[in-house]
Structure 1
Amino acid sequence: MIRLESITKSFLVGKESIDILKNISLIIEEGEFVAIMGPSGSGKSTLMNIIGCLDKPTSGQYFLGGEDVSNYNDKELARVRNQSIGFVFQQFHLLPRLTAMKNVELPMIYAGISKSERQSRAEDALRKIGLEDRMDHLPNALSGGQKQRVAIARSIVNRPKLILADEPTGALDTKTSMAIMEQFRELNQEGVTVVVVTHEPEVAEYANRTILVRDGMIQVSAAAERGQRT
């Protein structure tokens, strides 16, 4: 599903080149549930941006579903994001003047899906995550957990094979965080590959494998029999 080969990412600060990612090689198989952890400034968010085709590596190759996307232009990367990847962020990124339903429909508009199909898929996605009674609510009428569920519904309507979640529980209380992680677990059990970037060990415990990033390098990639909470 995901294969990174000798990935580096550098940024120019003045005349100095700063290495953010250093020779990262990584494989994430289809259907895995993986957590990426690391301290602030470790490079984990930069790594997620490359995996999510939000940024391009300075060098190395990135294969997504067998497709070498390393040197794709912005238009090609946008196509890959729209067709293959669902995103969930800490701050939800919902448009405040659109209902939950309309927010979930947005990715399908960009994908050129018909209005009737958009409505049907959006309704199905909102029912799937337990918000069938909140479809017509604006974001300011939703709790933090409900907003994140809308974001999850939006991430799955184009039926991606990969969901990337960047600190998805960072703005939520503990009880709500656990409920959101259960949603990711259910999606993973249905065959969706899930990659979560987090600094919270309790969140990482839901994954089957944890990748630790420090100083721009993978420090540990530990497999564990997880996701067995009772």
Structure 2
Amino acid sequence: MIRLESIRKSYKLGKEDVDVLKGIDLTINKGEFTAIMGPSGSGKSTIMNIIGCLDRPSSGDYFLNEKLVSEYDDKALARVRNQSIGFVFQQFQLLPRLNAWKNVELPMIYAGLKKKEREERAKEALEKVGLADRMYHLPNELSGGQKQRVAIARAIVNQPDLILADEPTGALDTKTSVQIMELFTMLNLEGTTIVMVTHEQEVAVYAQRQIHVRDGLLNRNEQVVMDEGERLQ
């Protein structure tokens, strides 16, 4: 599903170029649950942004479902983000004046779905994440875990092939983090590909595969692959 070939990314800092990614080669197959780990500044979030079509590589090729998306224009990238990728962020990114239902409905408005279908899908997504009784609550009326469930419902409502989760438990307590990771595991077992950035080993163990990034490079010696029995223990 995902193939990165010789991906490099640099940014201008004054008159100097700062290399963040220094030649990333990575393949993630459909249905995998992959955790990308590494210290702050290692490049893991930059990899996530490129996979999510939120940023472009300075050089190299990015293929998503065998299509070379690294050469798409902004309009095409926006379409990929809306139709093929669901995003879950550490700080939830919910609109404060919209209730849970309306927050989940937003991606479908951008996708051009009709009102009746939007309403049905939003309801189904919220039921799936266990928030059938919180549909009409505003974000400030929800706990952190409930906000993240709304964010996950929003991420899955357009039925994407891929979910990208950036530190999805970073703002949650331990018990709530476990509940959220169990929800991700359920979605993965149903066939959704998940790529998650985290610095927490106790979160990464839910993934089938752990990839470590250091100084803009993948550390091949630190890749960990777990079988289904190990990660569900």
The 5 Å alignment of 1:166-205 reads 166-205=166-205
- 1:25-79 CA-partner distances (Å, limit 9, x unpaired): 0000000000000000000000000000000000000000011011111111100
Q: Name 2:27's counterpart in structure 1.
A: 27
Post-superposition offset of 1:172: 0.2
Contact 1:85 1:161 in 2 (8 A): yes
The residue that corresponds to 2:15 in the other structure is 15
In the other structure, the counterpart of 1:228 is 232
Q: Distance in 1 between matches of 2:75 and 2:216?
A: 28
Q: Which amino acid aligns with 1:44?
A: K
Distance in 2 (alpha carbons) for counterparts of 1:57 and 1:101: 35
How does 1:57-206 map onto structure 2 within 5 Å? 57-206=57-206
Amino acid in the other structure paired with 1:10: S
- Taking the aligned partners of 1:167 and 1:28, their CA distance within structure 2 comes to 19
Relative to total residues, which structure has the larger helix share, 1 or 2?
2
* Shift, 1:109, TM fit: 0.2
* Residue type of the alignment partner of 1:216: G
CA distance in 2, matches of 1:74, 1:174: 39
In structure 1, C-alpha distance between the alignment counterparts of 2:211 and 2:44, rounded to whole Å: 9
Q: Measure the CA separation in 1 of the matches of 2:172 and 2:184.
A: 15
Q: CA deviation at 1:129?
A: 0.5
What amino acid is the match of 1:185? T
- Structure 1: 5+ residue stretches without partners: none
**Amino acid paired to 1:223:** V
Cα deviation, residue 98, structure 1: 0.3
Alignment: residue pair count: 229
Does the CA contact (< 8 Å) of 1:185 and 1:227 recur in 2?
Answer: no
Q: Distance in 2 between matches of 1:126 and 1:224?
A: 30
* Maintained 8 Å contact 1:96/1:139: yes
Name the CA distance, whole Å, in 2 between partners of 1:144 and 1:224.
Answer: 29
- Structure 1 runs (4+) deviating above 2 angstroms are none
Q: Once superposed, what is the RMSD of the aligned Cα atoms?
A: 0.6
Q: For structure 1, which segment, 216-225 or 189-198, has the greater mean C-alpha deviation from structure 2 after superposition?
A: 216-225
**Using the alignment, how far apart are the partners of 1:70 and 1:16 within structure 2?**
24
